[in-house]
Amino acid sequence: RSSGEKFEFQAEVSRLMDIIINSLYSNKDIFLRELISNASDALDKIRFLALTDKDVLGEGDTAKLEIQIKLDKAKKILSIRDRGIGMTKEDLIKNLGTIAQSGTSGIGDLNLIGQFGVGFYSAYLVADYIEVISKHSDDNQHVWESKADGKFTVSEDTWNEPLGRGTEIRLHLRDDAGGYLEGSKLKDLVKRYSEFINFPIHLWASKEVETEVPVEEDESAEEESETTSTEEEKEEDAEEEDSEKKQKTKKVKETVHEWELLNDVKAMWLRSPKEVTDEEYTKFYHSLAKDFSEEKPTAWSHFNAEGDVEFKAVLYVPPKAAHDQYESYYNSNKANLKLFVRRVFISDEFDELLPKYLSFLKGLVDSDTLPLNVSREMLQQHSSLKTIKKNLIRKTLDMIRKLAEEDPDEVHDDDKKVQWKIDFPGSVIFFTDPVDEYLMQYLMDYEDKKFQNVSKEGLKVGKDSKVKELKEAFKDLTKWWKESLAGENVDDVKISNRLADTLCVVVTSKFGWSANMERIMQSQTL
């Protein structure tokens, strides 16, 4: 649209789109769960705001917290609409044009793409042109549109129907993605991937219905005169004759449209643990943890705490360490438990709920005791949280103890017996993974050999005798050098024999962070 303001995607976004499209082309289905998950997040946000201000929900249909899917077979458009919080013009530019906002930013290892949430851009797996129409209460309705060609446009929306509030994503499907215009396919995908979304997902479904309509006199006479040949038809005729006395009718096929509810909105954790099957727990884990590896969680615990502090909780031990386990351990803002208060999602950033050493758990807590209509900050201070935390720890330890009894191989809880089986690539050891930096803080030696990081102080090569002489000779120079660099984060200036052709090298002090560690730490504090 010529009136729209034009923007370019951040370079990383274009790169990410390429990666998604090239590595997930055989797994296109995931786009739907990503868009539904975004819709659900947006609905969570507005519902949370409505706790303290009912008016934000609006009136009539706008107040309905739901997700709607529509198919337009003629135009080949699949649209997903939510009545969530919506996006302002600024939000559209920032959230759908830069990467810091996207859930995908943390995925360092591209092999892992597909097992975790890959976000909005996955919609380009099935669409070659996308319009995002959005209305946030702070702004007019806007349209974001892009053909994933490095550019996008944002315009004030003067031509679409007003949304009231929320977002509609219109996917103009690629030629090879026409299958997503089939209602049955979408129903199947929602069942598989989005079963546990806590808001109703409706499909504007068309179906063929047979209705009985009265037959006009001359028409029925015509039918009767037809001769029937097979046994079956004769029987049918006999049946028809029975009803004939009442009212002459005929069956006609008609296509009707109606909103069909695709998911069971009842929160899974409210059900009795006895009623929930292992398969359901596994699926719930995948949707909760956004882990689509299809692996079964190692253990889970679903319980109901009663008494002064009432809550329900489902806790999982994941099948394997999360790709960002180490980062999230050191990043206190990221908790893996979702907090609900009376079915309303409050936050997944409550680090008061579990001690750090249990940060590998995934799960949720739904409390009936915590107050609903207070700010997040006030909730964080609430005295019930301590009781909840104590309970969660006890239940978790029970779960792990039980696991140890039933399946000792799964548990490595005895420090002394922990064995490292490590395969490193290369002819020297290469440490290419972020976790290697952490590992080497604990792995001091192998057999009787000490490890020495070549980028750190203390590397010894050859004989030291000559160094001693040189140290003496250059004493004044090193002293002068050290003093001139004082205040520049330089601890010391030394003579060494580690270099061959280079004059000098900056190395890390023995207990300091290596340059690589600095980089890792920096990437965690965005």
* Binding residues for ligand ADP restricted to 110-169, rule: CB under 6 A: 117, 119-120, 167
CB of 234 to ligand ADP, least distance (A): 58
Q: Which is nearer to Mg ion, 39 or 388 (CB)?
A: 39
With 0-12 CB in 10 A as exposed, 13-18 as middle and 19+ as buried, what is 257? Answer: exposed
Could you tell which of Mg ion, ligand ADP, none binds residue 82, using a CB distance below 5 to 8 A set by kind? ligand ADP
Q: Which is nearer to ligand ADP, 57 or 404 (CB)?
A: 57
* Binding residues for ligand ADP restricted to 91-110, rule: CB under 6 A: 95-96, 101-103
The contacts found for 142-147 with CB under 8 angstroms, 24 or more apart, are 142/87, 142/88, 142/89, 142/92, 143/1, 143/4, 144/92, 144/93, 144/96, 145/1, 145/4, 146/9
CB of 157 to ligand ADP, least distance (A): 15
Determine how many CB atoms are found less than 10 A away from the CB of residue 174. 16
CB of 303 to ligand ADP, least distance (A): 29
* Binding residues for ligand ADP restricted to 272-311, rule: CB under 6 A: none
CB of 103 to Mg ion, least distance (A): 5
Q: Report d(CA 266, CA 323) in Å as an integer.
A: 31
What residue ranges bind Mg ion (CB under 5 A)? Answer: 38, 103, 119
Tokens of 423: 């395969």
Q: Report d(CA 315, CA 303) in Å as an integer.
A: 9
Q: Report d(CA 323, CA 462) in Å as an integer.
A: 41
Tokens of 264: 């069971």
Could you tell which of Mg ion, ligand ADP, none binds residue 281, using a CB distance below 5 to 8 A set by kind? none
- Binding of ligand ADP at residue 66 (CB under 6 A)? no
Which of 16, 17, 20, 87 binds ligand ADP (CB under 6 A)? It is 87
Q: Which residue has the tokens 């009539």?
A: 60
Could you tell which of Mg ion, ligand ADP, none binds residue 102, using a CB distance below 5 to 8 A set by kind? ligand ADP
Cβ distance 105 to 324 under 8 Å? no
List, as one string, the DSSP characters of 143-192. Answer: EEEE-SSSEEEEEE-SSSPP-SSEEEEEEEE-GGGGGGG-HHHHHHHHHH
Total residues contacting ligand ADP by CB under 6 A comes to 18
Which of 33, 68, 84, 180 binds ligand ADP (CB under 6 A)? It is 84
Q: Which is nearer to ligand ADP, 7 or 281 (CB)?
A: 7
With 0-12 CB in 10 A as exposed, 13-18 as middle and 19+ as buried, what is 250? Answer: middle
Q: Report d(CA 472, CA 495) in Å as an integer.
A: 10
Q: Report d(CA 478, CA 495) in Å as an integer.
A: 8
Q: Which is nearer to Mg ion, 38 or 287 (CB)?
A: 38
- Closest-CB residue for Mg ion? 38
Residue 405: phi, psi to the nearest 5?
-70, -45
* Binding residues for ligand ADP restricted to 4-63, rule: CB under 6 A: 34, 38-39, 41-42
Q: Which is nearer to ligand ADP, 84 or 318 (CB)?
A: 84
CB of 290 to Mg ion, least distance (A): 8
Residues at the contact surface with ligand ADP, assessed by CB under 6 A: 34, 38-39, 41-42, 82, 84-85, 87, 95-96, 101-103, 117, 119-120, 167
